[in-house]
Structure 1
Amino acid sequence: MTVMDKQAVVYLHSNVDRMSVTLTYAQSLDGCIGTRTGKPLVLSGRESFRVTHTLRRYHDYILVGAGTCASDDPGLNARDGHNNAVDLAYQPIPVFVDLQGRCQLTKDAKVCKLARKGQGLPALRLVHRALFEARHRRLSADVNMEAACCGLEAGGVKTIFLDAATIKVDEAGHASCSWDDIIACLRALDPKKQSIMIEGGAGVIRSVLAERAASLVIVTVAPSYIGENGVSLGLTEAIGLMGVKTAVFGRDTVMSGVLRS
């Protein structure tokens, strides 16, 4: 374990427990978490990135939305200070919230490649059956749910249906459901796996904050300004943290706290 890993463990040990639903993300000084072009924006420095990977080892699941899946092709595994994948016993299960079945998760996706190499665990995709069928019916008259899911499973991704969840669809056609439903679904899969780490993207972070669904929020603030090309969370209300702790990792400041109800 490197010095950076040890520093991350000391910081996280008093913050994270095995029942945590942890929301974590990085932002610039002007509050941006991404770009308008949709291209990945690297904000975290090498030292604070170690916090992220140590944090992944503290959780049973690591979750992102369909947009992050499409734009970033994330690996969602945990790596050590030498950038090597940690033992599978300490790897989180990758989860994609993809209610409408938009993610093109093939065997060539990074998360699938890592699972085949033994450097990560097989991923889960959370889908709402009715929304999946409706979307694919618009694209093609032939909707074969079983074939579509079997194709994903062949690539190393298991589909979990959230059919009991209450679904909301906004004016742009984006579907969402309660985080209580998502969290309950994951925790019901395995009673021994309870902790969930949520990484993004913007819509996911925004909804988690709005619903006060996270038991812990960890934000990395990078000493940079993105400017007019940046995209912020776009929150519609003021939200504060309690019990705030901060630490400096390299050039970045990492802040953790509990959401005010």
Structure 2
Amino acid sequence: MADELETASPKAENGSALKVAAIGDLHVGKEDQASYRDLFGEMSRAAQVLVLTGDLTNLGKPREAEILAEELRACTIPVVAVLGNHDYESGAVEQVTDILRQAGVHLRDGEATEIHEVGFVGVKGFVGGFGSRMLGSFGEPAIKSMVAESVNEAMRLENAMRQVRAKRTLVVLHYAPVVETVEGEPLEIFPFLGSSRLAETIDRFQVSAVVHGHAHRGAYEGRTPGGASVYNVAMHVAKPTGRPYAVLEI
């Protein structure tokens, strides 16, 4: 999992497809919950990179991050991750971030990293809604502040995309960039599950695929208006693997 393991794990050679295992919404909580060690070991055998799409902890507590870091010792491949809304709950996001980065996780927050000739770009994303029903910056200051945060996350994604030099790119989000992958959730909460602003940014670049979580009852697959494949890899969503994680070839 740590940086030194990248040289020991199998690599995609000469532009061949890189296998990426992706899962979101682990919600690691109390110490007495079920262990993910076996699952992390299984994903290490199935892929060359592990991607975690946010809500890594249940309440954003440092102890939960420590438990996850311990569990990730079973992972023998590089790990790329973003945070989710649950990871902000306790106001300890800096501590959670430090714990996971010290454990060797490539925790992306408006940044890009290259592993095995693939660029991994990550931001949390934010709410805002989709298409013509996307929330606009009008009315009360609280609404304008909410829209400004959504725009800011899209801008941070764009800045991170501009850092990529690799020919293949995987975008890692927590919130959804398209409505197709949140379908199955109650209509009333669609605006809180993601934002089309993310898709608008993604479509300005050449992207191999996009993964996100957050929508536990959403659908597995969708596309941006520009045609980029989007996968909802929240562990609760049914996937072609028949397992809680997806395996993508990038």
TM-score tier, shorter chain, comes to 0.3 to 0.5
TM-score after normalising by structure 1: 0.38
- Name the TM-score, length of structure 2 as normaliser: 0.39
